[in-house]
Structure 1
Amino acid sequence: MDSARELLAAERQQALRRLAALTGDFDDVVAASRDSNADDEHDPEGATIAFERSQVAALVLQVQGHLAEVEAAIQRLEGGTYGICERCGQPIAKARLEARPAARTCISCASAAR
């Protein structure tokens, strides 16, 4: 389980770094919209500031969701239920946990849920 702990810690750190970078990007987009008096909604040259802000906000939500999944996996690890499928109760394959350390279900249950 030490390798699982290391994988989850690395996933958590990566998510936190990504979140910090995206938050900085979001702040930059907001600052750009504040400093600009251009009518970007009708600018034929490309994406609007509102569109960029929306994209960054969606990415922030995605990373926050992943971070919550990783933190839940850390709690399962501490509680002794990490690596057990939440749907069927069988062990989750080691290869799946290496690929997706925060996985809650085995491959069979994940495939059936689709």
Structure 2
Amino acid sequence: MATPRKQTRSAAARPAAKTKPTKPTKAAVAPKPPAAKPAAAPKSAAVAKPPAPKPVTVTFEPEWLDGIRQMLLQRRDQINNVVRASRDQLAANDGESSDLADRASDGFEDELTAGLLSIEAAQLEEVETAIERLENGVYGLCTTCGKPIPKKRLEILPFAKRCMKCEDEKARNIPHADDDEADDEEDDADTD
């Protein structure tokens, strides 16, 4: 009898030898440069102002403007008289009394007079500004938003420089996009 022969498989039919699984290789990646810090924005550029509004003109009758001018000039003269009298009173009270109680009373009166003098000086400046605005042809325009101030408001308060809306916002300390630096300086002076 013939001996059975071992069957041999061809190399192709044999199972492949087990190999270790290999990790996929990573592509070389260049290191990232350090992130640049964003430049700090200047504080003045933090709030961009909108473009200036188109110029508005207000047309009042010349007779009406003459009446307003006369009212402003009369008010300026009245304030100048009050300021002059207050300064004279302050100068007259300077070291006049030797009694301690009288000097204390005079000191109180002087402080009161100085406070009133300050108020009158501020109003004088407003009147002078209104007269300048009349002469420059911009009287009756709100200095904050540029819109016309109603005629009735100007008749009641001839040195008004803001419309009622802007005046209310200023009174509530609501910042307005069109506020100019002069108003900011004025606000700073009010807090001193």
Which TM class, normalised by the smaller chain length?
0.7 to 0.9
Provide the residue aligned with 2:79 in structure 1. 15
1:35 aligns with 2:96: yes
Moved over 4 A (4+): none
Task: Check whether the contact 1:29–1:49 (CA below 8 A) recurs between aligned residues.
Answer: yes
Provide the residue aligned with 2:138 in structure 1. 81
1:25-51 deviation line (CA, Å, top 9, x unaligned):
222322xxx23111128x9xxx62211
In the TM superposition, residue 84 of structure 1 has moved relative to its aligned partner by: 0.3
Provide the residue aligned with 2:112 in structure 1. 55
Percent identical pairs in the alignment equals: 35
Which of 2, 24, 48 is equivalent to 2:88? 24
Provide the residue aligned with 2:128 in structure 1. 71
Provide the residue aligned with 2:47 in structure 1. none
Task: Check whether the contact 1:91–1:106 (CA below 8 A) recurs between aligned residues.
Answer: yes
Amino acid at match of 2:101: D
Q: TM-score, normalised by structure 2?
A: 0.52
Structure in which a larger fraction of residues adopt helix? 1
**CA–CA separation in structure 2 for the residues paired with 1:26 and 1:36:** 13
**CA–CA separation in structure 1 for the residues paired with 2:98 and 2:85:** 26
In the TM superposition, residue 109 of structure 1 has moved relative to its aligned partner by: 1.1
The size of the alignment, in residue pairs, is: 107
**CA–CA separation in structure 2 for the residues paired with 1:70 and 1:55:** 23
RMSD over aligned Cα, in angstroms?
1.8
Structure 1 unaligned spans of 5+: none
**CA–CA separation in structure 1 for the residues paired with 2:170 and 2:143:** 12
**CA–CA separation in structure 2 for the residues paired with 1:95 and 1:28:** 42
**CA–CA separation in structure 2 for the residues paired with 1:25 and 1:56:** 8
Q: Which has the higher contact order (CA 8 A, sep 6+)?
A: 1
1:78–1:69: structure 2 CA closer, same or farther, 3 Å change rule?
same
